[in-house]
Structure 1
Amino acid sequence: MLRILFITSIMIMSLNAVGQSNSGVWYSQPADTWMEALPVGNGRMGAMIYGGIETEHFQLNEDSMWPGSPNLSNAKGTAEDLALIRKLIDEGKVHEADSLIIDKFSRQDIVRSHQTAGDLFLHFKNRGEVTNYKRSLDFEKATSYVSYSVDGNTFKETAFSSQPDNVLVIKLETSNRNGMDFDIEMSRPKDEGVETVKVATFPEKQLMLMNGEVTQMGGVVESVPTPIKNGVKFQTRLKVKSKSGIITSNGNRLTVRNAKEVLLLIATETSYYHPDYIEKAELVIENAESKGYKALVNNHIQDFKNLYNRVSLHIETDNSNKEFPTDKRLERYKAGVVDVGLQETLFNYGRYLLISSSRKGTNPANLQGIWNNHITAPWNADYHLNINLQMNYWLAPITNLAECELPLFDFGNRLIIRGKETAKQYGINRGSMSHHATDLWGPAFMRARTPYWGAWIHGAGWLAQHYWGYYLFTEDEVFLKEQGYPYLKEVATFYLDWLQYDESTKEWFSYPETSPENSYIANDGKPAAVSRGTAMGQQIIGEVFRNIISASEILAIDDELIKEVKKKAENLRPGVQIGADGRVLEWDKNYEEAEKGHRHISHMYALYPGNKITPETPDAFKAAQKSIEYRLEHGGEGTGWSRVWMINFNARLLDAMSAEENINKFFEKSIAPNLFDEHPPFQIDGNFGYTAGIAELLLQSHEGFIRILPTLPKQWKSGTISGLKARGNIEVDITWNNGKLVSLHLLSVKNKDVEVVYNNKKQLVTLVANQKTELNGNLE
């Protein structure tokens, strides 16, 4: 039987840079489960690495592994149906309206999931007594390491997924003079009992191929079982290189014997990206093979560091926890031993994960990034547009990773085209819209059996904030002209024709409306979803109108559309209204919530990620605080992503004590051994939202000026952060000691004047292009 000896002194002595810094994680045993395995990725293709001894397991991933096609069309609803739904709401028949909107406009439940690319297993022979085991993930190098000794001989594994060379690289080494013996196996789970791949080996070419097509035999459309028998086609191509090893085949396995060193090169290519995907996979492997391992490593590390090293966070601690493996540190944290260093690690992890799952030319990060071991994933591992996809990208601009947001815009540009047809379904012939969820193929239609899930109409509207935000952080006018403004125009135009006029209040409002995934108690005491002018809907519409007006001024556009937007914006019903109990209303009236502690706090959109609730709006600011406290009092924040949304709210409310409390609860309740966020189950948005929240505690720029250390937790007594971005394309470095600002550096690529606020002092600062401006703790 395999034995692993864990010797504390040896374990501590073996600490390398990963163990000593907060820019990585390490463990003293292999992963037993997927939520203990460690992720690598190049934006499109990745793996979850277990670090096994007798059997090493790489669960393979690729972002376009989806069944089906773009052919699924809108439901059968018409403009006349919309008019009837509005009439029912006006008459107070909200339950009838709830039923009709689903019956006419929804494709109801859909199961069409992002899927695993398969599995790679290395089955080792003749394993004896194992000592000095360690596996780790270095965020800066984006590289996984496994090392241990077997009967006194060392074994090392190094793995990474290279974006420049588009290949997964695994290097195996041993000091055993007889080398390593192992079998290589590739497979993929069955789809409802149906084989999904064919594997072939070519030992004379040191080659293994896995060919398949993504299906969904358990597929569902309109809540009816509907097998999906076609989808994206793919090939995973594995090349073995070894100078000393002997390579043969054993059925569908390759066998490696007597190898002192082995290099595995793996490429997965799909028909989504390349019609000639098989030829593409072959070319990728040939190119990687010709470059050699050293060049592959150097290309990969340089590429990743260029993004990852833009930002650096260091919070001073006594370092007493760093002698423990990451999972042990987490266990201590969950038991009440706060670990500030682990908070720093998780901040860095979010940046690592975004770089690894979202790069130029890829699809955007889905509910699980790119890492998914399912045929049918929770919530299809799709793109939820009612917070989750957007939360994935909150961190991108502020942590200096604007390029990583480009896949979101590529996707949004595809979605906006499909959304035009969905808008026409409602009788809106101008502009575009989308509902709460979509997938690789970009359908914008409603997909839910219940209106509180599906009848929300602001997916495109929320995404519009990201287009405008990208411009604010980068000041890229080419992007604004070619992508930002056209997108805003489509969304704003839809809203112009969707809005209805209330003769009694002389205001424009939106309906039918819902508040994402939530319900209110109607007059008959039963839960209902649809209403008139919910808070989030009105807030998003107002934001879109303001942003397109601002964009038009920058681009010198003053056409009839802008005039129409300005006119309706003047009389748009406010999205922030305060009820009799002092809270912000979530719906158009002071309804009782069906679930008082609901995870979605959608009426706080104007606080974060929006910018309309600030200290300059004191009544709304106070009402927002009271609304959040009410949710928490009733058991809110039960999911990981909702907890980190709360951290971002706390940052904007300048509430450091609550932020610190929610950070600690996030670790205690929602973090898995590999530091993935657990919804539960796993959703990556919580990882990304956490990183955004930590940055927001240290730097804010949404009010038209730059706030320095606005919400500094007391447990972060001293520290430094460099490379954050403020709106206006300004790079910011901050150092503090004993809770007070020590120094501040600002860098702009243009000459400009900016207002900086710290500790209630506001200072106008003149920046000279490409020259760092240094200020002290008094902003002098």
Structure 2
Amino acid sequence: MYTLLFFILATLTIAKDLWSSIPVTNYSNIIRETYLLGNGKLGAMPFGAPGEEKIVLNIDSLWAGGPFSANNYTGGNPTDERYPHLPKIREWIFQNTTGNVTQLLGNGDNYGTYQVMGNLSISHNVSVNPTSYERRLNLTSGVYYTKYSDLAGSKYTTAVFCSYPDQVCIYHLSSSATLPDISIKLENQLVNDTLIQSSCGDGYVRLRGITQVGPPDGMRYEGMARVTRSSSLSLKCCERQPGTLIVLSTSGQRSVTVVVGAGTNYDQTKGNARDDFSFRGEDPETYIQNIAQGAASRDFQDLHDSHIADYQTLAGTFTLELPDPRDSSKEETSLLFDRYRSSQGDPFVESLLFDYSRHLLISSSRQNSLPANLQGRWNSELDAAWSADYHANINIQMNYWGAEQTGLGDIQDGLWRYMQDTWVTRGSETARLLYGAPGWVTHSEMNIFGHTGMKNDAQWANYPASAAWMMQHVADHFAYSQDVAWLLTAGYPLLKGVVQFWLSQLQEDGYWNDGTLVVNPCNSPEHGPTTFGCTHYQQVLHQMFANALTLGPIASESDFAFLQNISTSLDRLDKGLRFTSWGGLQEWKLPEEQMYDEENNTHRHLSQLWGWYPGVSLVSPSHHFLSGYTNVTIQDAVATSLYSRGTGNGPDANAGWAKVWRSACWARLNNTERAYFELRYAVEQNFVGNGLSMYSGKNPPFQIDANLGFSGAVLSMLVVDIEAVVSGQVRNVVLGPAIPKSWGRGMVKGLRLRGGGIVGFEWNNDGLVTTVANDVEGVRLLDKSGKALFGR
């Protein structure tokens, strides 16, 4: 087995890997050094010195808070109707241009936080040759390897991966000589002993915990580690160390495999009024025993091959190849990031981060899991930064920027189910209590327990446009997949409920009296006053209404009055496009002298540019939209706003996601120099030696949206695909709008287009497309100058 595994390792090292010759030994610094693994439900962070290896384990649903901490949990909603206050709030704002929504605010009581489950610890005595150690995450296979030698010359190799088919994480140790005795345990030293219990049994160790002692009972969670079946193994529980399993050394025994299953009693299908919003399911014990026993009944090679086949089905759908002029693939990953700051970019590092972005999305979001949260799936603490929740005013959306175009659209099934089971159910209550409205609504901060109310003060909490923004992802999924069955059962019902809400909330502008419909009250995400007609909202609703008019007939919408109401409202809707005196786009529909749209405000958000990217309401030439891609006036205003907003490193934050967003916006302007600068600047400022992005420069906390959004920015440099798919019409797609010269002679294949097409192409040393691999029905492929490349 050692020989086979070493051969696998040796053959995979020619691919893109993250690797290091130094083990991760400091737990407090783990998020800056480890390499991340997962299968959607489970997250894993391997660390530890040779012979003392550990794996931090996360479960997607392991949260403290919500109904598991309080019987009267309301999801942030008030217990009484607040919408009667709205008329006076709106009247005041129209009269005075700004106001407040204090009477609508809910609370963040028992909001909770994402928590770490614990560590799988595997130890054996070994005297390591210090020059022999290497750890490596292979992005072709999704497998993490270490190798080292002892002073006697015996060679050791470990392999760690989290299997989606088997729903377990797997640790495999092999040696060129007989293995020493090995101890295995599951532990969590951060949790009080009254809340957690470790035990050992026949071939397994188990960790059971509860987030609080009732009433009400906290969330129950469990992990079980089992040694796979092998006739030559001798196992016993250690009497001196309760909860520890010993694998006794047996002559000729050269490998051991441990599988870990974990879960909770959280059930998102119980987050509704019928089940009293309990989210409480069955004790996980039986489920964990079954999956752990099932996986342990198979040998390592079978588990390994099953994982590889599943992982490559997703990872292999898309290929980006960039040059490696510095031979960077042979250097340790941390050294590449150390050197990057003083360079003018490194195509190998950028392509490595692109592939890592896709790996992280595959690992943190699958069909049967919760969506990727603020930390994806990886957290080593009991109280995560910002609860590792779902911030829905850019962060959860950015997490999925790279999904559709790179063939990962189907892994979003968990995202749709999460919205249906937790946002819609409690969000319908929020719509009724706060707004007296039909349909459903959510705000900016959400947990896994349907927290859809306003959590705190207005600048953060008053963001009812979050669900409307997510409807862009719903519309995009259909645009790329053309899956009518999904649209009928999942996509369109989500969309219709949000549209119903907003149709009931639009107000005729009572300040400018220009006959337009605006949102009142609104707050631009995390910025500025409570006012009316916020540009961001108007652009988001503009696109959502236009999408609803397109998708309604496809979904066999029979309520023609509903469609007519959308059409009439869209015609009157303020489109969110007006210009400042200094040439940028206004963020608010307010008089210039109020100075909320001051020049050189470097706020991290680009809310007034939503319709440019990631939306298309400003840029697309399609019906209802504003044709910004060919309109010099709009282009100049977008560019002016981007220059004014700065590079994404201002007094309010030095965050990677802000730079990635700026890069994507510049790419859509066909501005290669600025798009590439912002991409490089994000890497320089925010990405540390293991390829993860920190929130505050290179300092923790870790926040994954820049990692996942990185692929979206790169894709914007590769393609502009913004026109709606209309049957019988040929639409334009631009290839290579902002490819830097340093990426010369690169190629891409498997790039998805709206309408279901797939394209691949190559480019020359100047970043100009030279070869297109395939034609696409109904699409005219253009280069950045507008010249036709290939197509009908």
- How does the TM-score come out when normalised to structure 1? 0.89
State the match for 1:510 in structure 2: 519
Q: Read off the aligned partner of 1:569 and give its amino acid letter.
A: L
State the match for 2:720 in structure 1: 700
State the match for 2:706 in structure 1: 686
**Residue 176 (str. 1) matches residue 177 (str. 2):** yes
State the match for 2:444 in structure 1: 436
Q: Which moved more, 1:476-485 or 1:245-254?
A: 245-254
State the match for 1:214 in structure 2: 211
Q: Read off the aligned partner of 1:263 and give its amino acid letter.
A: T
Instruction: Verify the 8 A CA contact 1:244 1:261 in the aligned structure 2.
Output: no
Which residues of 2 match residues 223-622 of structure 1 at below 5 A?
A: 230-241=217-228, 243-249=232-238, 250-258=241-249, 260-273=254-267, 275-336=282-343, 338-414=345-421, 415-448=423-456, 450-502=457-509, 504-519=513-528, 529-557=529-557, 559-589=560-590, 590=592, 591-593=594-596, 596-611=601-616, 612-613=618-619, 614-622=628-636
CA distance in 2, matches of 1:491, 1:514: 18
Instruction: Verify the 8 A CA contact 1:114 1:380 in the aligned structure 2.
Output: yes
Report the 3-state secondary structure (helix = DSSP H, G, I; strand = E; otherwise coil) of the residue aligned with 2:50: coil
Q: Read off the aligned partner of 2:486 and give its amino acid letter.
A: F
Deviation string for 1:80-108 (max 9, x for gaps)? 222232233234284xx43xx23542214
State the Cα distance separating 1:742 from its structure 2 match: 2.1
State the Cα distance separating 1:46 from its structure 2 match: 2.1
CA distance in 2, matches of 1:69, 1:144: 35
State the Cα distance separating 1:502 from its structure 2 match: 2.4
State the match for 1:63 in structure 2: 60
Instruction: Verify the 8 A CA contact 1:189 1:375 in the aligned structure 2.
Output: no
Q: Read off the aligned partner of 1:568 and give its amino acid letter.
A: S
State the match for 2:112 in structure 1: 112
State the Cα distance separating 1:437 from its structure 2 match: 1.2
CA distance in 1, matches of 2:109, 2:538: 27
Instruction: Verify the 8 A CA contact 1:114 1:381 in the aligned structure 2.
Output: yes
Paired residues in the alignment total 723
**Residue 121 (str. 1) matches residue 110 (str. 2):** no
**Residue 659 (str. 1) matches residue 660 (str. 2):** no
Deviation string for 1:179-210 (max 9, x for gaps)? 2233223212435x5643110112xx121110
Instruction: Verify the 8 A CA contact 1:123 1:184 in the aligned structure 2.
Output: yes
Q: 1:127 to 1:370 in 2, by over 3 A?
A: same
State the match for 1:773 in structure 2: none
Instruction: Verify the 8 A CA contact 1:577 1:585 in the aligned structure 2.
Output: yes
**Residue 79 (str. 1) matches residue 73 (str. 2):** no
Instruction: Verify the 8 A CA contact 2:734 2:781 in the aligned structure 1.
Output: yes
Q: Read off the aligned partner of 2:222 and give its amino acid letter.
A: Q
CA distance in 2, matches of 1:638, 1:687: 15
State the Cα distance separating 1:489 from its structure 2 match: 1.1
State the Cα distance separating 1:513 from its structure 2 match: 0.5
CA distance in 1, matches of 2:10, 2:326: 15
Instruction: Verify the 8 A CA contact 1:50 1:58 in the aligned structure 2.
Output: yes
Report the 3-state secondary structure (helix = DSSP H, G, I; strand = E; otherwise coil) of the residue aligned with 2:742: coil
CA distance in 2, matches of 1:725, 1:584: 31
State the Cα distance separating 1:532 from its structure 2 match: 0.7
Deviation string for 1:314-350 (max 9, x for gaps)? 1123242222111111111123363210110000001
CA distance in 2, matches of 1:702, 1:104: 37
Instruction: Verify the 8 A CA contact 2:50 2:128 in the aligned structure 1.
Output: no
Report the 3-state secondary structure (helix = DSSP H, G, I; strand = E; otherwise coil) of the residue aligned with 1:619: helix
Report the 3-state secondary structure (helix = DSSP H, G, I; strand = E; otherwise coil) of the residue aligned with 2:132: strand
Q: Read off the aligned partner of 1:507 and give its amino acid letter.
A: T
State the match for 1:742 in structure 2: 770
State the Cα distance separating 1:726 from its structure 2 match: 1.0
State the Cα distance separating 1:126 from its structure 2 match: 4.3
State the match for 2:272 in structure 1: none
**Residue 90 (str. 1) matches residue 94 (str. 2):** yes
Instruction: Verify the 8 A CA contact 1:49 1:58 in the aligned structure 2.
Output: yes
CA distance in 1, matches of 2:344, 2:52: 35
Q: Read off the aligned partner of 2:706 and give its amino acid letter.
A: G
CA distance in 2, matches of 1:25, 1:196: 37
CA distance in 2, matches of 1:230, 1:620: 56
Q: Which moved more, 1:368-377 or 1:44-53?
A: 44-53
Q: 1:159 to 1:228 in 2, by over 3 A?
A: farther
Q: 1:489 to 1:293 in 2, by over 3 A?
A: same
**Residue 638 (str. 1) matches residue 654 (str. 2):** yes
CA distance in 2, matches of 1:631, 1:654: 19
State the match for 2:155 in structure 1: 154
**Residue 728 (str. 1) matches residue 747 (str. 2):** no
Q: 1:438 to 1:633 in 2, by over 3 A?
A: closer
**1:30 alignment partner, one of 15, 23, 26:** 23
CA distance in 2, matches of 1:747, 1:299: 34
Q: 1:93 to 1:738 in 2, by over 3 A?
A: closer
Instruction: Verify the 8 A CA contact 2:353 2:707 in the aligned structure 1.
Output: yes
Instruction: Verify the 8 A CA contact 2:111 2:447 in the aligned structure 1.
Output: no
State the Cα distance separating 1:490 from its structure 2 match: 0.9
Q: CA RMSD in A?
A: 2.3
Deviation string for 1:423-477 (max 9, x for gaps)? 11124331111100111112211112x2110111111100111110000011111
State the Cα distance separating 1:633 from its structure 2 match: 6.8
Instruction: Verify the 8 A CA contact 1:698 1:709 in the aligned structure 2.
Output: yes
**Residue 39 (str. 1) matches residue 36 (str. 2):** yes
Deviation string for 1:548-590 (max 9, x for gaps)? 0111243454610110111111111121211221110011123
Instruction: Verify the 8 A CA contact 1:435 1:458 in the aligned structure 2.
Output: yes
State the Cα distance separating 1:18 from its structure 2 match: 5.0
State the Cα distance separating 1:705 from its structure 2 match: 2.2
State the match for 1:9 in structure 2: none
CA distance in 1, matches of 2:749, 2:785: 22
Report the 3-state secondary structure (helix = DSSP H, G, I; strand = E; otherwise coil) of the residue aligned with 2:54: strand
Report the 3-state secondary structure (helix = DSSP H, G, I; strand = E; otherwise coil) of the residue aligned with 2:122: strand
State the Cα distance separating 1:229 from its structure 2 match: 6.3
State the match for 2:727 in structure 1: none
Instruction: Verify the 8 A CA contact 1:244 1:260 in the aligned structure 2.
Output: no
Instruction: Verify the 8 A CA contact 1:67 1:228 in the aligned structure 2.
Output: no
Q: Read off the aligned partner of 1:62 and give its amino acid letter.
A: I
Q: Read off the aligned partner of 2:19 and give its amino acid letter.
A: W
Instruction: Verify the 8 A CA contact 2:105 2:458 in the aligned structure 1.
Output: no
**1:711 alignment partner, one of 727, 732, 738:** 738
Deviation string for 1:508-542 (max 9, x for gaps)? 110110011112xxxxxxxxx20011010111111
Instruction: Verify the 8 A CA contact 2:187 2:207 in the aligned structure 1.
Output: yes
Report the 3-state secondary structure (helix = DSSP H, G, I; strand = E; otherwise coil) of the residue aligned with 1:735: strand
Deviation string for 1:610-651 (max 9, x for gaps)? 112332232222111100100117944720111111111111
State the match for 2:273 in structure 1: none
Instruction: Verify the 8 A CA contact 1:162 1:169 in the aligned structure 2.
Output: yes
State the Cα distance separating 1:285 from its structure 2 match: 1.5
State the match for 1:197 in structure 2: 196
CA distance in 2, matches of 1:764, 1:548: 33
- How does the TM-score come out when normalised to structure 2? 0.87
